Amino acid sequence: MFANTLKTPQEIQSPFIQWIPRNPRWDNFIRAWNFVKTPPIWKALLNSTIITLSSVALQLLSSSLVGYVLAKHKFRGSNTIFMWILAQLMIPSATSLIPMYLLMNWFGWYNTWFSLIIPAAFSAYTIFLMRQFIITIPDDILDAARLSGCSEFGLYWRMILPLSKPALAAIGLINFVWIWNDFLWPVVMLKDPNLFTIQVALNGLWDIREGYNWIPLVAGAITYATVPLIILTVITQKYLIKGWTGLSYAKR
Amino acid sequence: MVEVRLEKLTKIFDKKVVAVDNINLHIKDKEFLVLLGPSGCGKTTTIRCIAGLERPDYGNIYIGDRLVNDVVEKDRDVAMVFQTFALWPHMKAGDNIAFPLKMHKTPKNEIKNEVKKIAELLKISHLLDRMPGQLSGGEAQRVALGRAIIRNPKVFLLDEPLANLDAKLRVHMRVELKKLQEQIGVTTICVTHDQSEAMAMADRIAVMHQGKIRQIGTASELYDHPEDLFVAGFIGSPAMNFMDCTLEEEKGFLVSNAFTLEIPKQLIKDIKENATSSELILGVRPQDISVQEKEIPDSISSEVYAVEPLGHETIIDLKLGDQIIKACTHPTYTVNLGDKVWMKFDMNRMHLIDKKTEKAII
């Protein structure tokens, strides 16, 4: 993708693959930036960032709260609730597309970011993962905090959240990539180009034909869409590895 | 004055497992009381009830004069040290200690002074900036203690505080704990399954078994005058030897299929007054048996089955009928396997237990 941006259209289509083009055309990056017009690429990237960050933040908040309650509090019906949440995982997402569309319309959220952010703020899978993580935090730690005068919410805020950092980071990153790359749902819900996410904006490029220069410019635009994910992975890789090598609490 | 009183305390799990069964206990001001019992006897549940981490199903808990049944844990003014120490792994040791004060909105500079004072008391001033993961077992325990005592709790609860330390440190820390408790003068309830720990630390020991308190008393009371079969068998190491026997009243003998033992007249009278039948259990501590190479009056003949030289003493396992009787001897005492020897019980330190009621007669 990156290399293709630096090539001419002829070089891209050539059967002899050049991994590093002989004459890299760096100006393609600038042209690719200006190439996306509805909305401009900076706007689409900004939209995607706002939507994805707020979705992930809300999702982590909701799933850690629900996960904490399900993991550490036994109350009448707690297992039933957990089973209902698990049952959610078995519904294929495609089947919920139209009902969700109707629901969002009914809320009056069509063509707003609410329709993207609010459904993404609650995820059965994330709740399940958080519950499984929090269940491994020893009860003694929480009891000790209770005896020290910590309130129930204080327990969540001062103990569960900081101790769940590796899980939150791993889950947050995976969901960030997922939501960032989502195309179908935003393209269904959004009409106003000014609200478009980067993926929807890239889709608009199919309608434009700007001579033979078209292909490297698309490659450039896609590269721009990928850069934030790469940066994020580099920053959080420490937590990512911790998260993947065992999503369980361990004495640190 | 902080006394703790438990009245008819009962805790039932899942509507069928009776963890704590109708316990009455009165812990005096500044007393160090140890709840001693095998695992699963309900001792930890008992102190968790006092802490407020479990709600009792029946009965009352008083801390001082206040009935605390419906008081939430953070308002009970109790502090607890957990078996796992339960330090908060994401906070420095100093922040761990400061946390209870922080939760009670103590001014910052006051917290700093208090932490400093406690750290000096526990000799952990140099550890305050470390994370709990970087502390050794003994250090982590001191931090846990500091966290517990910083708020001057009314009651100090210790749940198996020494179980996670290595053997040498355990012997050292039990003295330290006792000293610390005397120094700060706080009513303390400690749970342990280790009798030597209990005897070393406690002012009084309550022996628990199957959710009930079997006997309360000082270490020597429990050792010298156990009130029932369980306490007799649980306290003392190696455990007391038990032999089934019957009283033959006219001859004044205790008879079993392996031995016949003449006992004093006065004893027979006591047995007759207190026992429900002539079926008895004779209990003799290994320390109260002397092993003889020649037959002497009132001795019982047996055969050496095994020898356990422990250094400070030698335990000789003796075959008596189909039973093995353990006897402690001087470490220099030598004997060979299969030797025929005679054992003599110390008549003044024998225990007789009613087989039916399992209550001690003497």
Q: Which tens digits make up the pLDDT trace of B78-129?
A: 999 999 989 999 999 999 999 999 998 899 999 999 999 999 988 899 999 9
* Closest CA of chain B from A76, distance in Å: 13
Q: How many domains does chain B have?
A: 2
Boundary (domain end) residue, out of B199, B214, B233: B233
Between B219 and A4, the higher pLDDT residue: B219
Asked if residue B128 and residue B54 are part of one domain, the reply reads: yes
Q: Is residue B185 part of a domain?
A: yes
Asked if residue B278 and residue B229 are part of one domain, the reply reads: no
CB A175 within 8 A of CB A123: yes
**CB proximity list for B305: less than 8 A, separation 6 or greater:** B317, B318, B319, B324, B337
Tally the residues of chain B: 362
Asked if residue B187 and residue B224 are part of one domain, the reply reads: yes
- Ramachandran category for residue B143: left, alpha or beta (phi over 0 → left; psi -120 to 50 → alpha): alpha
Q: Do B74 and A146 touch (CB under 8 A)?
A: yes
Which of A189, A223, A159 is CA-nearest to residue A26?
A: A223
Q: Is residue B359 part of a domain?
A: no
Residue of B88, B135, B141 best to disrupt the A interface, most CBs of A under 10 A: B88
Long-range pairs for B135-142 at CB < 8 Å and ≥24 separation?
B135/B87, B135/B93, B137/B164, B137/B165, B137/B166, B137/B169, B138/B165, B138/B169, B138/B173, B139/B93, B140/B85, B140/B87, B141/B81, B141/B85, B141/B165, B141/B173
Q: Do B100 and A154 touch (CB under 8 A)?
A: no
Q: How many CB atoms lie within 10 A of CB A49?
A: 15
Boundary (domain end) residue, out of B233, B251, B273: B233
Token digits for B142?
């001191």
Q: Do A148 and B90 touch (CB under 8 A)?
A: no
Asked if residue B110 and residue B88 are part of one domain, the reply reads: yes
Domain residues of chain A, as ranges? 2-10+25-244
CB A237 within 8 A of CB A25: no
Q: Do A143 and B86 touch (CB under 8 A)?
A: yes
Asked if residue B252 and residue B128 are part of one domain, the reply reads: no
Q: Do B53 and A146 touch (CB under 8 A)?
A: yes
Q: Is residue B362 part of a domain?
A: no
Tell me what pLDDT residue A251 has.
Answer: 46
Q: Is residue B335 part of a domain?
A: yes
Residue of B74, B75, B115, B131 best to disrupt the A interface, most CBs of A under 10 A: B74
- Write out the H or E segment, with its range, that includes residue B304: strand B300-309
pLDDT, average across residues B50-57: 92
Partners of A165 on chain B (C-beta within 8 Å) are 90
- For residues A45, A49, A55, A56, the Cα torsion angle rounded to the nearest 10 degrees is 130
Token digits for A126?
């994330």
Asked if residue B179 and residue B281 are part of one domain, the reply reads: no
Helices vs. strands in chain A: H and E counts, helices first: 15, 0
Asked if residue B168 and residue B261 are part of one domain, the reply reads: no
Which of B231, B245, B248, B350 is CA-nearest to residue B289?
A: B350
What angle do helix axes A165-181 and A214-244 make, rounded to 10 degrees?
A: 160
pLDDT digit string (tens) for chain A, length 252 residues: 777 777 777 777 778 777 777 777 777 777 777 777 778 888 989 999 999 999 999 999 999 999 999 999 888 899 999 999 999 889 888 898 999 999 999 999 999 999 999 999 999 999 999 999 999 899 999 999 999 988 889 999 999 999 988 888 888 888 998 999 999 999 999 988 889 998 888 887 766 665 556 777 777 788 888 888 888 888 888 777 766 665 556 544
Closest-CA residue of chain A to B78? A147
Asked if residue B312 and residue B226 are part of one domain, the reply reads: no
Closest-CA residue of chain B to A165? B90
Q: Is residue B133 part of a domain?
A: yes
Asked if residue B187 and residue B317 are part of one domain, the reply reads: no
What whole-number distance in Å separates Cα of residue A141 and Cα of residue A155? 10
Q: Do A140 and B84 touch (CB under 8 A)?
A: yes
Tell me what pLDDT residue A174 has.
Answer: 86
Strand B212-217 versus strand B241-248 pairing type: unpaired
User: CA-based Rg of chain B, rounded to a whole angstrom?
Assistant: 25
Boundary (domain end) residue, out of B210, B233, B256: B233
Token digits for B359?
């209550």
B248, pLDDT greater than 70 = yes
Tell me what pLDDT residue B217 has.
Answer: 94
What whole-number distance in Å separates Cα of residue A99 and Cα of residue B143? 56
Tell me what pLDDT residue A180 has.
Answer: 92
pLDDT, average across residues B43-60: 92
Closest-CA residue of chain B to A164? B90
pLDDT, average across residues B42-49: 93
Token digits for B25?
């206990």
What angle do helix axes A165-181 and A41-72 make, rounded to 10 degrees?
A: 140
- Percentages (nearest 5) of helix, strand, coil residues in chain A: 75, 0, 25
Which of B340, B351, B198, B203 is CA-nearest to residue B274?
A: B351
- Spell out which chain A residues touch chain B, with contact meaning CB-CB distance below 8 angstroms: 138, 140-141, 143-151, 154, 159, 162-163, 165, 251-252
What is the architecture, at CATH level 2, of domain A2-10+25-244? Orthogonal Bundle (1.10)
Residue of A148, A150, A151, A152 best to disrupt the B interface, most CBs of B under 10 A: A148
- SS3 assignment, position B338: coil
What whole-number distance in Å separates Cα of residue A154 and Cα of residue A167? 19
> For residue B349, what are the domain limits?
238-354
Asked if residue B252 and residue B143 are part of one domain, the reply reads: no
Asked if residue B284 and residue B199 are part of one domain, the reply reads: no
Q: What is the CATH number of the domain that holds B153?
A: 3.40.50.300
Query: Residue type at B217?
Result: G
Q: Is residue B97 part of a domain?
A: yes
Nearest to A147 among B78, B89, B132 (CB): B78
Tell me what pLDDT residue B298 has.
Answer: 84
Asked if residue B277 and residue B133 are part of one domain, the reply reads: no
What whole-number distance in Å separates Cα of residue B86 and Cα of residue B82? 6
What whole-number distance in Å separates Cα of residue B104 and Cα of residue A95? 52
pTM: 0.81
Q: How many CB atoms lie within 10 A of CB B141?
A: 23
